[in-house]
Amino acid sequence: MYRKGIMLLLSMLLLAGCWDERLYKNASVVTLVGVDGYIGAYKGYYAYPNTAAQQNEVIEADGISPRDVRNQANLKVEQTLDLSELSTILVSDQTVREPLYDILDIYFRDPQNPISIKIAVTEGDVKPFIELTKDLAGGAGGYYERFMESTEENTIFPKLDLQTVGSMLFEQTIDIALPYIQLSEDKKHAVAAGVALFSGQTFTGTILTPKQSLTMLLLMNQPSKQARMSYMWKHDGKSMPITADVIHIKRQWTVNEELKRIDMDYLIEVEIEEFAHDHLYKDPVFKEVQQLIQDHVQGEFEEVLRILQGQQSDTLGIGRYIRAYHPKMFQKDWPAIYASLQLVPSVQVKIIRTGVLR
Amino acid sequence: MDKVEYMMKSLQKAFYHSSDLTVRQIDWHEGDTAILCFYASLVDAKEVQKILDTIYARLDTEKPFWSETLLTTLDNFALPQAIERVCQGETLVILPDTGKMLTLAITYEVRRNLEEPNNEHILRGSHEGLVERADTNLTLIRKRVNNPALVVKSFTIGQQTNTKAYYLYMDGVIQPETLQEMEKRIADIKIDYFYSIGQLSDALEDSVLSPFPQLLNTEHPDRVVAHLVEGKVVVMTNISPSALIGPVTFFSFYQTPDDYNSRVVVGSFYKIVRLLSFVTAVFLPAFYIAVISFHFEVLPLELSNQVKNDVNDIPYRPLIEALILEIIMELIRESSIRLPQSVGQTIGIVGGLVIGDAIVSAGLVSNLMVIVVALTAISSYVVPSVELNSTIRMIRFPFMLLASLFGFLGIVVGVVILLIHLISLTSLKQPYFSPIVPFQPKAVYKIFLRWPFIRPTVQVTSFQPPKDEKGKNEDTP
Amino acid sequence: MNFSLSKAQFFLLLFIIQTGVVYIAFQTPLIIYSQHSAWYVFFLASIFHYGLLLFFERYYQFFFLNGFFRWVYLIYWLLITAVLIAYMGYVLASWVLPRTPEWIVVMMIVGLSLYANLVRPETIINIGVMLIPIIFLFVIFLMLAIPDLTWSNLFPVEWNNTRQIMAGMIHSMYAFFGIEMYLLYRPFLKQDLQVKGKPLLIYQLVIFIFYFISVVFTQMFFALEEVQLIPEPIMYILKSQEVNFVKRLDIFFIYIWLSWSIVTVMIYGLSFRVLYLSKKRKHPKRSIVFFHLLLAILPLFVMQFQRIEFIKNSIHYVLIVFTILLPMMIICWNKWRGKRVS
């Protein structure tokens, strides 16, 4: 008798319902989020696929905080927005002049949001960037994700995802450089326009061009699958282009504490990819080409370091290095100290391969 | 005369006047008469006649052991014994004067051919199978083990049916506890009418309510012999070709004679594949339901688009979808057992079309669910044993239900319950889930690999770890 | 209770009880209090742990609990298990099951432990075996995080900050509770087996490496200020890894951790059984059911954020008393009196 009663009770429990059930067919899967505005008056854009028409729909909403924006957007959709398949976040460059973490907190706190997603800063308003994904057959977020991943492979964007960005936002010893995207003229594509420099949690306003951001990544010792540099070589009155691909970097930083000077020695090994003049086996040609590349790279390094120091943006991680190995030099007010350091790069370029031809 | 007629009448009465019982008066040596009594349906009349002629010839010579030949013997007459003998198919020649009876044990052999059993196909190795006659089975076993240590003990099952049965073991290899336990259980059998091997199985098993079989059913003589030489007890009956082997472990259900007839690497690979099929067969539908209902963010981006397209238009939740398909599969399976050969092909095609194509186009189930259910069905048939096959198909359903209610949490809870049950299950009081229980790290890899040199050792008999390191737990073919 | 353990079973039991619920969470207080020195503070703590194990191995025969201390330990285990279950329920609710009522999760865990404790004791001892491949999985997937580690977080190595080091050592005790089970289960080990020496060293090395990897990875993966905000760093690391075939590893690993912790709770139930039933009792099954009933009710009172934080901040003191000081006292007292465990 008791057994029957207990069985009945238990089975009633089971029938009560599944509290955490989130049926896939009932969710609008948002893959791309755009944030615009400033604290107190945010605008949000959410792109999710419309399976019947093979298109993406964009929902726009206002609110006082990112979460509030989403709640407002939920009033406009037929199936509740679900952000667990998010793959990209786009933020406009006006919004990031405020501390970035305020916008991102919700993505870290909610356990259902993925944090291995990409984040990028857009030139101007976010809206046209999101609208251009409307006609894409695939997922909206997937387009930007793949776009950024391929630019990462070309060593223009640094390899970041939301987790590493968040981690670096909490550290004083390193600053982030987020990918910066522009619209193409026909407003149908996104164009990689370099990186946006941050100092602490706010955007400094300065962008590094793609060439400069490649240099910055080389300074950080993070070359990716392709890192190509092209220069013009003047020889015998003719101009000829040379393209070199960075294969390997060795770097060594020597810190001189009294003089507050860091000697940064770089040994860059390249492979020549394009050189119509050929005949690299001839010693004078080889040496001249190598010297040319070395001079150019040295100049670029110095230029980028000047920009970084000027903006007090320590994207190279010099702060980390100093804090770990020379803790006495590291004080609380790191950005100011960083700006006053003397950074002396010295580059040595070696051509190790020349492709299949010589 | 009177005496003889009285005897004949009482014999008829004892056999309830059955029409196939023949009671006759025949002439015997020196003018005596004898009564011939036999069941016409059980006795091979021609052979009996031949032997009787031999014995008639002997009677004239006054030899002392005239009655003893391969097939005949002389006993004292007693009515209950006589009834028992005649029921077993022996011919009785009752000599009323001396009060003795001559029994001739020549039965009419009615049995199948020794064909390979339908449920246990193997690729290489012997294709003989046991039949419904215990004596023929004994022949098949004895010819493989030419050793007097193979002990055969007979007993009868069923108070009313008196079916002949044997249990066999190898003396010297078997542990005394195993033998005692089995003998105790056989002595405790209380069955009146024995007509199905399932009754014997129930009587001998440890835990009748557990879904997992604790005695191995097989119809292959090599499997029987392989288990015998490892110290197991085999029970065979006269009414069923299956031999019951105990004690067994969970992992012995996953072994076939094919493993040991093929090469080391190949055998190990297929063993691992078979063990993996257990995981797929039980957990795949539950896993799919949990992912679609609770945790769809687990799917990678490209796959999730596909899946969303598929499941978007299904009107009910994944559990109902899965149940519909599973029930259709079970119906197909049940009907295919009884399908007549002639229409088998046609129905197969219709079934495939209906389930594969039409049900998806009608929007009742999604494509992915069909794939999942088909994969599950295939994996569940990989198990070499028929009972474990049905067990696996059955325990899928609670897992699906749990997954639908609680997602992965339900699957975890289900797995823990299943593990606790398996680990505490015993087969003839010996651990069912060995070599994991008791844990001997050196022996665990033998579940997965087929080792080149087999030295069969005795299975672990208790839940405590063995007294010395030598009593290891090794597997059996 | 008569069962005997082999070496492998004994050490497996200890390993699961020690690593059980705390594996994903103990790094946070350790790193908060010892900042950049967390990794070598932990190393020192492990040496201390090894010393304690050696001490226990030498004097385990003197750990005889008379009536009063028996009840002390029974109640202590009851409360610790209740806290563990509350923590498990809290983590589940915040990571994967936000809406399910807490008592259902607690009931499930307690129900499983009850089922496992009503059958023979060998079941619980051996169920840990099925967890071994899972533990390997954990470590392997943690290794995926290697490209994101910053080695500079481990330096500078400073020795002058004794307050930090002491605070760090005290907080690393969080990782090692469950040691008194060594004393409880050691008499069940078969008499002629050799535990001192190599096997103990191997066990210590295994547990040290397992924990050390998690501490070092946590320290290298997160910035210091970030770690203060993250109560379960290992899960967070796994959440940020992307693998080809699945996207969110943490969903799988939360459930793997859950099954591991359920086995830990079962082993606590078994320890209760062993200690309580070492004297002949009239209704053994009833007392086990009652223990589990209490276990089902107590966690519900503490499953809230502030109470969990309070417990997390003060539990290491309790652990030091019960796992280190009290056994030492009992052993010394019994040694002086000459009383041994038979």
Q: What percent of chain A has pLDDT over 70?
A: 94
Domain of residue A151 covers: 24-208
Tell me, yes or no, whether B404 and B271 share the same domain.
Answer: yes
Q: Tens digits of per-residue pLDDT, C92-144?
A: 888 888 888 888 889 889 999 999 888 888 888 888 888 888 888 888 888 88
Burial B257-276 (b: 16+ CB within 10 A, else e): bbbbebeeeebbebbeebee
Task: Decide if pLDDT at C288 tops 80.
Answer: yes
In this structure, the number of other CB atoms found within 10 A of the CB of residue A182 comes to: 16
More confident position, B317 or A210? A210
Q: How far apart are CA A297 and CA A282, in angstroms?
A: 23
Tell me, yes or no, whether A188 and A217 share the same domain.
Answer: no
User: Average of pLDDT values for B319-334?
Assistant: 86
Domain of residue C306 covers: 7-331
| Integer CA distances (angstroms), C47 to A317, C53, C204, C205, in order | 35, 10, 9, 10
Task: Decide if pLDDT at B99 tops 90.
Answer: no
Interchain contact, B293 vs A25, CB within 8 Å: no
pLDDT level of residue B451 (50, 70, 90 thresholds): low
Interchain contact, C120 vs B464, CB within 8 Å: no
Q: How far apart are CA A279 and CA A177, in angstroms?
A: 40
Tell me, yes or no, whether B224 and B263 share the same domain.
Answer: no
The shortest C-alpha distance from C98 to chain A (Å) reads: 7
Q: Which two tokens stand for residue B38?
A: 């036999």
pLDDT level of residue B411 (50, 70, 90 thresholds): very high
- Residue B417: the pLDDT is 92
Q: Is C273 within a domain?
A: yes
DSSP structure class, residue C144: G
Tell me, yes or no, whether A177 and A40 share the same domain.
Answer: yes
Q: How far apart are CA B232 and CA B168, in angstroms?
A: 9
- Residue B440: the pLDDT is 73
**Could you check whether the bond before residue A179 is cis, i.e. omega within 30 degrees of 0?**
no
Interchain contact, C130 vs B413, CB within 8 Å: no
Interchain contact, C96 vs A20, CB within 8 Å: yes
In a mutational test of the B interface, the residue from C105, C130, C245 whose CB has the highest number of chain B CBs within 10 Å is C130
- Residue B466: the pLDDT is 63
- Residue B395: the pLDDT is 92
Per CB-CB distance under 8 Å, the chain C contacts of A163 are: 148, 239-240
For chain B, what is the domain count? 3
Q: Is B53 within a domain?
A: yes
Task: Decide if pLDDT at C23 tops 50.
Answer: yes
More confident position, A154 or B313? A154
Q: Is B226 within a domain?
A: yes
User: Average of pLDDT values for B123-133?
Assistant: 85
Nearest to A111 among C95, C223, C247 (CB): C95
- Residue B167: the pLDDT is 92
Q: Is A11 within a domain?
A: no
Task: Decide if pLDDT at C70 tops 90.
Answer: no
Residues 6+ apart with CB under 8 A from C299: C82, C83, C85, C86, C89, C102, C106
Q: Is C317 within a domain?
A: yes
Helical packing angle, A162-170 and A101-109, nearest 10°: 120
Q: How far apart are CA B84 and CA B101, in angstroms?
A: 13
Nearest to B293 among A23, A85, A114 (CB): A23
Instruction: Report the sign of the C-alpha dihedral through residues C327, C332, C334, C340, in that order.
Output: positive
Task: Decide if pLDDT at C179 tops 80.
Answer: yes
- Residue A340: the pLDDT is 84
Torsion angle of C-alpha atoms A297, A301, A307, A310, degrees rounded to 10: -150
End-to-end CA distance of chain B: 64
Interchain contact, B297 vs A23, CB within 8 Å: no
Own/partner pairs, B384-390, CB within 8 angstroms, 24+ separation: B384/B120, B384/B253, B384/B254, B384/B255, B384/B256, B384/B274, B385/B213, B385/B216, B385/B217, B385/B218, B385/B253, B386/B119, B386/B217, B387/B213, B387/B217, B388/B212, B388/B213, B388/B253
User: Average of pLDDT values for A162-167?
Assistant: 88
Q: Which two tokens stand for residue B199?
A: 């009754």
DSSP structure class, residue B219: -
**Could you check whether the bond before residue C101 is cis, i.e. omega within 30 degrees of 0?**
no
Tell me, yes or no, whether A179 and A233 share the same domain.
Answer: no
- Of A286-295, B151-160, C8-17, C274-283, the one with minimum mean pLDDT is C274-283
Interchain contact, A171 vs C148, CB within 8 Å: no
Task: Decide if pLDDT at C250 tops 90.
Answer: no
**Could you check whether the bond before residue B438 is cis, i.e. omega within 30 degrees of 0?**
yes
Task: Decide if pLDDT at A195 tops 60.
Answer: yes
Residue that is last in its domain, among A208, A225, A248: A208
Task: Decide if pLDDT at B471 tops 60.
Answer: no
Task: Decide if pLDDT at B234 tops 90.
Answer: yes
- Closest chain B residue by Cα to residue A141: B301
- Residue B244: the pLDDT is 92
**Could you check whether the bond before residue C231 is cis, i.e. omega within 30 degrees of 0?**
no
Q: Tens digits of per-residue pLDDT, C204-238?
A: 999 999 999 989 898 888 888 888 888 888 888 88
Q: Tens digits of per-residue pLDDT, A102-158?
A: 888 888 888 888 888 899 999 888 888 888 888 877 778 888 888 999 999 988 999
More confident position, A194 or A50? A194
Interchain contact, C251 vs B295, CB within 8 Å: yes
Do residues B292 and B332 lie in contact, with contact meaning Cβ atoms separated by under 8 Å?
A: no
- Residue A8: the pLDDT is 67
Query: Can you tell me whether residue B263 is helix, strand or coil?
Result: coil
- Closest chain A residue by Cα to residue C254: A111
- Residue B281: the pLDDT is 92
Burial B118-134 (b: 16+ CB within 10 A, else e): eebebeebbebbbbebb
Task: Decide if pLDDT at B413 tops 90.
Answer: yes
Q: Is A36 within a domain?
A: yes
Instruction: Return the HEC string of B381-436.
Output: CCCCCHHHHHHHHHHHHHHHHHHHHHCHHHHHHHHHHHHHHHHHCEECCEECCCCC
Mean pLDDT of chain A: 85
Task: Decide if pLDDT at C193 tops 80.
Answer: no
C131 interfaces chain B, CB cutoff of 8 Å:
no
User: Average of pLDDT values for A170-174?
Assistant: 83
Residue that is last in its domain, among A184, A208, A232: A208
- Closest chain A residue by Cα to residue B295: A22
The shortest C-alpha distance from A138 to chain B (Å) reads: 8
Per CB-CB distance under 8 Å, the chain B contacts of C9 are: 438-439, 465
Do residues B225 and B144 lie in contact, with contact meaning Cβ atoms separated by under 8 Å?
A: yes
Residues 6+ apart with CB under 8 A from B240: B132, B196, B197
> Phi-psi bin for B358: left (phi > 0), alpha (psi -120 to 50), beta?
alpha
Global confidence as pTM: 0.87
If we measure between CA atoms, which residue out of B231, B190, B189 comes closest to residue B430? B231
Q: Is A202 within a domain?
A: yes
Task: Decide if pLDDT at B456 tops 60.
Answer: no
Tell me, yes or no, whether A117 and A258 share the same domain.
Answer: no
Any chains having at least 3 CB pairs less than 8 A from chain A are B, C
| Integer CA distances (angstroms), C233 to A165, B15, C307, in order | 17, 85, 20
- Residue B469: the pLDDT is 47
Q: Is C254 within a domain?
A: yes
User: Average of pLDDT values for A193-220?
Assistant: 89
Q: Where are the alpha helices (DSSP H) in A75-116?
A: 101-109
Helices (H) and strands (E) counted in chain B, each on its own, are 17, 12
Tell me, yes or no, whether A229 and A173 share the same domain.
Answer: no
Per CB-CB distance under 8 Å, the chain C contacts of A320 are: 150, 152-153
Tell me, yes or no, whether B419 and B305 share the same domain.
Answer: yes
User: Average of pLDDT values for B355-381?
Assistant: 86
Q: Is C339 within a domain?
A: no
Tell me, yes or no, whether A50 and A77 share the same domain.
Answer: yes
Interchain contact, B463 vs C122, CB within 8 Å: yes
- Residue C142: the pLDDT is 86
Tell me, yes or no, whether B268 and B251 share the same domain.
Answer: no
Tell me, yes or no, whether A115 and A151 share the same domain.
Answer: yes
Q: Where are the alpha helices (DSSP H) in B88-166?
A: 134-142
H or E element that contains C180: helix C180-185
Q: Is A8 within a domain?
A: no
Do residues B404 and B293 lie in contact, with contact meaning Cβ atoms separated by under 8 Å?
A: yes
B369 burial type by CB count under 10 A (0-12 exposed, 13-18 middle, 19+ buried)? buried
C-alpha atoms less than 13 angstroms from C-alpha of C57 in its C-beta half-sphere: 18
User: Average of pLDDT values for C20-35?
Assistant: 86
- Residue B459: the pLDDT is 63
Interchain contact, B420 vs C92, CB within 8 Å: no
Any chains having at least 3 CB pairs less than 8 A from chain B are A, C
Domain of residue B7 covers: 2-104
Q: For the domain that residue A301 is a member of, what is the CATH number? A: 3.30.300.210
Do residues C341 and C62 lie in contact, with contact meaning Cβ atoms separated by under 8 Å?
A: yes
Tell me, yes or no, whether A230 and A160 share the same domain.
Answer: no
For chain A, what is the domain count? 2
Q: Is C341 within a domain?
A: no
ipTM of the complex: 0.90
Q: Which two tokens stand for residue C8?
A: 């492998």
Task: Decide if pLDDT at B286 tops 90.
Answer: yes
Q: Is A6 within a domain?
A: no
Q: How far apart are CA C97 and CA C91, in angstroms?
A: 9
The shortest C-alpha distance from A282 to chain B (Å) reads: 51
For chain C, what is the domain count? 1
- Closest chain A residue by Cα to residue B307: A24
H or E element that contains A119: strand A118-122
The total number of residues written for chain C in this structure: 342
Residues 6+ apart with CB under 8 A from A222: A155, A158, A159
Tell me, yes or no, whether B95 and B176 share the same domain.
Answer: no
If we measure between CA atoms, which residue out of C118, C272, C112 comes closest to residue C180? C272
| Integer CA distances (angstroms), B18 to B21, B22, B470, in order | 6, 9, 61
Q: How far apart are CA B188 and CA B169, in angstroms?
A: 19
Q: Is B450 within a domain?
A: no
More confident position, B352 or A301? A301
Q: How far apart are CA C97 and CA C93, in angstroms?
A: 5
Torsion angle of C-alpha atoms C199, C202, C203, C207, degrees rounded to 10: 180
Q: Which two tokens stand for residue B139?
A: 């022949």
CB pairs under 8 A between A and C: 61
Tell me, yes or no, whether A35 and A171 share the same domain.
Answer: yes
Tell me, yes or no, whether B308 and B266 share the same domain.
Answer: yes
Tell me, yes or no, whether A154 and A225 share the same domain.
Answer: no
pLDDT level of residue A13 (50, 70, 90 thresholds): low
Q: Tens digits of per-residue pLDDT, A28-83?
A: 888 889 988 887 888 888 888 877 667 788 888 888 888 888 888 888 888 788 88
| Integer CA distances (angstroms), A165 to A31, A108, A170, A179, in order | 19, 11, 9, 11
Interchain contact, B412 vs C116, CB within 8 Å: no
Tell me, yes or no, whether A298 and A166 share the same domain.
Answer: no
List phi, psi (to 5°) of A354. Answer: -130, 30
Task: Decide if pLDDT at B250 tops 70.
Answer: yes
Mean pLDDT of chain B: 84
Q: Is C61 within a domain?
A: yes
User: Average of pLDDT values for A242-265?
Assistant: 87
